[in-house]
Amino acid sequence: MKKTNVLILFSLLLWGCSQSKNNVEARIDDLLSKMTLKEKIGQMNQLTGTGLSTDMTDCIRSGEVGSILNEVDVKTVNELQRIAVEESRLGIPLIFARDVIHGYKTIFPIPLGQAASWNKELVEEGARIAAKEATSVGIRWTFAPMVDVTRDPRWGRIAESCGEDPYLTSVMGAAMVKGFQGNDLSEPRSMGACAKHFAGYGAAESGKDYNTTWIPEIQLRETFLPPFKAALDAGVASFMCSFNDINGVPSSGNEFLNKQILRNEWKYDGLLVSDWASIQQMISHGVCSDLKDAAKKAANACVDMDMMGFAYISHLEELVKSGEISEKQIDEAVRNILRMKFRLGLFDQPYTKEDTTVFYATESLEKAKQAAIEGTILLKNDNNLLPLNDKIKSVAVIGPLSDAPSDQLGTWVFDGEPERSITPLQAIKDTYGSKLKIIAEKGLNYSREISEDGIKKSVEAAKKSDVVLLFVGEEAILSGEAHCRADISLPGAQSKLLSELKKTGKPVVLIVMAGRPLTIEKEVNQADGVLYAFHGGTMAGPALIDLIFGKAVPSGKLPITIPRMVGQIPIYYSHKMTGRPAENICLIDNIPVGAPQTSLGNTSFHLDAGDSPLFPFGYGLSYTTFEYSKPTLSKNTISEGDSIIVECSIKNTGKLDGKEVVQLYVRDLVGSLARPIRELKGFEKIFIKAGETKKVSFTLKPKYLAFWIADMTKKAEPGKFEVWISNDSQTGVPVKFELK
């Protein structure tokens, strides 16, 4: 096509887009001009489903509800929608919402496990599959992705996060948004995503859910907000407030967050929904005297929709009548809500085709398995025990997670069915039942079990086998919302089980299926091989068995640091150097008795844990090995408007083909504020055949070096930097460059 034709086509496309935008805005104006104040406030009310109860149908008819969550029977959904469209005065459709977090029926690994794949295409496909399944019953709005950065594995919701890093979370969150929403939000198989929880929820003090947070503005902007901005840039249809307060101000009443940042700075014109009753909870926070006060604070803070808080429906009308809230404010909120309904195409296609559900399609199960494979991290592999080879004739399958269909699904599974889970035990029997002697003896029935009665039998099983596969971890209920732990070691008698099995002298492969990083230093030391699998979803079993027997090669990398001890938390790779970085570490047992105090040589570490994590962010082994060349730079200085190409060769020096996650880190050596010792700025997951070498290059621009400085502007400061291309956050050869 000629250049001029391309230009004309492009202009026509732009014109078309702005026309349909104007058209939507005109339709919103038209509707608003016809709506009563009551009907407007009704749109701002979100209720949980109660089937076809009279209360609900009456509410819909009188226009007192704008959205319903947790209604998943397609016939009920369609009937409720019919009442809204045909029997309410203005026929405004409802949006049906649900927490579709890591799958609807086909359950993918928990988000933390998906992030461990570092494979954004796979993560996007996972969300696409979830959207296809969920929209087939009428759910057009999911409360995902959760893009809260967190550095506290005690927090139960770490399972639902993409880990500790703002960049990785941004990439994964944006991939999920794209997957849920598809190419066209108005298409019936697309689902509006929701960037939650705005903001700072992952900083809950002591990792206790809903707890208060203290977050300086610089840290808020640098660590917690970027994934939300990335979700917005990816076109996310909605945002949700967080439950916590930041520096004393709950998010649902936080004008700084919702008005100044989200609306004014970021120009967000979509829907902001509260969290469940979070407007009402401003009374418990102690910042509102009553529900009316809470409604006023939330409306002033630009919260458009009240999820199950009954504050708006009960009090907004009187607040407008008394002049405490202007009708213009209400109009703004309703505009955002209607805009989402238009964007979802609900005015044109309000109903869901029945009998077209697409649950557990073969390709979906295959993708879920692939996600579980790529989201599993090989942490240790002494003597190349894994993958198991032909010499292995008998296997003991032990541990509470070896055959726990419900627990392997992880948290946030309302619709997935445990009976569709394939457990590791099932998978090994299906695949190797005729070739191997498989002795299954759980040892413990569930992860928290303290009774050691079953251990003896599992030891007997181990004695009769060539190798022990020990599946340990956490039940699903030990992580997720409001399920936080102060002790994040292996629960129950699992550690004892491992010690007893170890005494048999048989090689032990430890497979950890959990909702968070666990403090398992002792167990890692005892085991011969360790696979960290998180909760892998419906297909966790086949994925793990493929990895264990070498049909698949591990390629997962940690999206979060694994601490040695809980007392190290928060521990994360991108920490500051401090004035006395850790060196000459002298651990507690090496201090001579009666040693006098001295401040000479003092550095920053814990006497009982040292300064290193058990495993760093970005870490993960493979069955093959990769050799990185020293990175080369296209030049050694950059200036504004310029870029540097950083390049590196990676050779697969092992005997197997494999995928590698190539990571790009930078460090600003001297800043006006102390800077992290490394920051992830890019990554690529590549497939390299055995013996082959591949080049990976990244483009570094000054804007990637920018950070928030004391006057609250974001700038890249001239000076010296270091850059690494490496396979985790601690290794690699730094190369210097300068920003002029």
Q: Report the sign of the C-alpha dihedral through residues 458, 463, 465, 469, in that order.
A: positive
Residue 275 is a binding residue for ligand NOJ (CB under 6 A): yes
Tell me which residue of 463, 443, 462 sits closest to 453, measured CA to CA.
443
Task: Report in angstroms how near the CB of residue 70 gets to ligand NOJ at its nearest.
Answer: 7
Beta bridge partners, 438, equal 395
Tell me which residue of 246, 244, 142, 127 sits closest to 194, measured CA to CA.
142
> Which lies closer to ligand NOJ via its Cβ, residue 72 or residue 520?
72
Task: Report in angstroms how near the CB of residue 482 gets to ligand NOJ at its nearest.
Answer: 9
Per-residue mark of binding to ligand NOJ, 64-103 (x: CB under 6 A): -----------------------------------x----
> Which lies closer to ligand NOJ via its Cβ, residue 482 or residue 710?
482
Burial 287-326, CB ≥16 within 10 A → b, else e: bbeebbbbbbbbbbbbbbbbbbbbbbbbbbbebbeeebbe
165 catalytic residue (yes or no): no
Task: Report in angstroms how near the CB of residue 143 gets to ligand NOJ at its nearest.
Answer: 3
> Which lies closer to ligand NOJ via its Cβ, residue 147 or residue 539?
147
CA distance 301 to 252: 7
Residue 481 is a binding residue for ligand NOJ (CB under 6 A): yes
> Which lies closer to ligand NOJ via its Cβ, residue 99 or residue 165?
99
Task: Report in angstroms how near the CB of residue 142 gets to ligand NOJ at its nearest.
Answer: 9
> Which lies closer to ligand NOJ via its Cβ, residue 239 or residue 665?
239
Tell me which of 148, 275, 528, 546 is the catalytic residue. Answer: 275
Number of residues that bind ligand NOJ (CB under 6 A): 6
The secondary structure of 46-114 as a DSSP string is EEE-BTB-HHHHHHHHTT--SEEES---HHHHHHHHHIIIIISSS-PPPEEEE---S-SSSPPPPHHHH
**Which tokens go with 454?**
């079953």
CA distance 437 to 428: 10
Task: Report in angstroms how near the CB of residue 308 gets to ligand NOJ at its nearest.
Answer: 8
Of positions 143, 342, 615, 698, contacts ligand NOJ by CB under 6 A: 143
Residue 148 is a binding residue for ligand NOJ (CB under 6 A): no
> Which lies closer to ligand NOJ via its Cβ, residue 142 or residue 421?
142
One-letter identity of residue 608: D
Task: Report in angstroms how near the CB of residue 410 gets to ligand NOJ at its nearest.
Answer: 15
**Bond preceding residue 570 cis, omega within 30 of 0:** yes
Of positions 276, 312, 534, 623, contacts ligand NOJ by CB under 6 A: 276
Phi (first) and psi of residue 664, to 5 degrees: -110, 125
> Which lies closer to ligand NOJ via its Cβ, residue 280 or residue 652?
280
Task: Report in angstroms how near the CB of residue 196 gets to ligand NOJ at its nearest.
Answer: 5
Q: Report the sign of the C-alpha dihedral through residues 6, 10, 11, 15, in that order.
A: positive
CA distance 492 to 350: 50
For residue 493, the number of C-alpha atoms closer than 13 Å in the C-beta half-sphere is 18
CA distance 731 to 558: 14
Closest residue (Cβ) to ligand NOJ?
A: 143
Give the active site residues.
275
Residues at the site binding ligand NOJ, with contacts judged by CB under 6 A: 99, 143, 196, 275-276, 481
